Amino acid sequence: MKPRALLYARVSTADKGQDYTAQLDELQRVADQRGWQVVGQQWDVTSGTKAVRPGLVKLLARCRAGECDIVATVATDRIARSTKNLIDLVDELEALGVELACTREGAADATTPQGKAFRQMRAVFAELERNLIAERVREGLRVRKARGQRLGRPPRLDYKRLGDARQLRASGCSWTAIATQLGGTRGAWERALSRGLIPPTSTAEVLPP
């Protein structure tokens, strides 16, 4: 069964000798050479910096509907507006089981041996980056623990002790001393008292007799 291909072309303007049909004709020739079954064509006449392009939106919708195996365009700058946008696009297509073929760029053509090797290398470096980030996080936690700093979320306040906190504050205690004695953090007690929170009613008071 032949791989199903959607062709995509883009030019910035319809004048100045630019013509998206020339790109589509070139892609059709590549498809014929590689034995692809062309199931559709999409194009845009707009700047590559535009975040939303109607032709590309329709193409991605067809990919999500499972209508193709390959998205073919002549070059990465025809379909992506930045390196990050290209990576995000490739990731989405891969998740859908669709390969991106930039036919003039071997490294960005996932249907060629060079492109497959490039994709594998990108996956290796992405995994390496994730591992490095995780190690930096673990190292930061080790440093904080060695310094005696609290790890994880700060403990919640016992709002039933707001009255105690007010009395301690009125007697001249610092916020740090209040947090040490009652639990929680100094900032949390300072915010709670400044907002004038009322201690919650006990269960015995809210239950019917």
In whole angstroms, give the CA distance from residue 42 to residue 65: 15
In whole angstroms, give the CA distance from residue 192 to residue 38: 65
Q: Which of 61, 9, 54 is nearest to 30 (CA)?
A: 9
Q: Is 114 helix (H, G, I), strand (E, B) or coil?
A: helix
In whole angstroms, give the CA distance from residue 126 to residue 64: 24
Q: Of 12, 82, 171, 174, which is the active-site residue?
A: 12
Identify whether 12 is a catalytic site residue.
yes
Tokens 């490095």 sit on residue = 132
Q: Which of 8, 201, 198 is nearest to 102 (CA)?
A: 8
Residues with Cβ < 8 Å from 11, sequence gap 6 or more? 18, 19, 20, 23, 44, 45
In whole angstroms, give the CA distance from residue 20 to residue 209: 80
Phi, psi of 148, rounded to the nearest 5 degrees: 80, 15
Residues labelled catalytic? 12
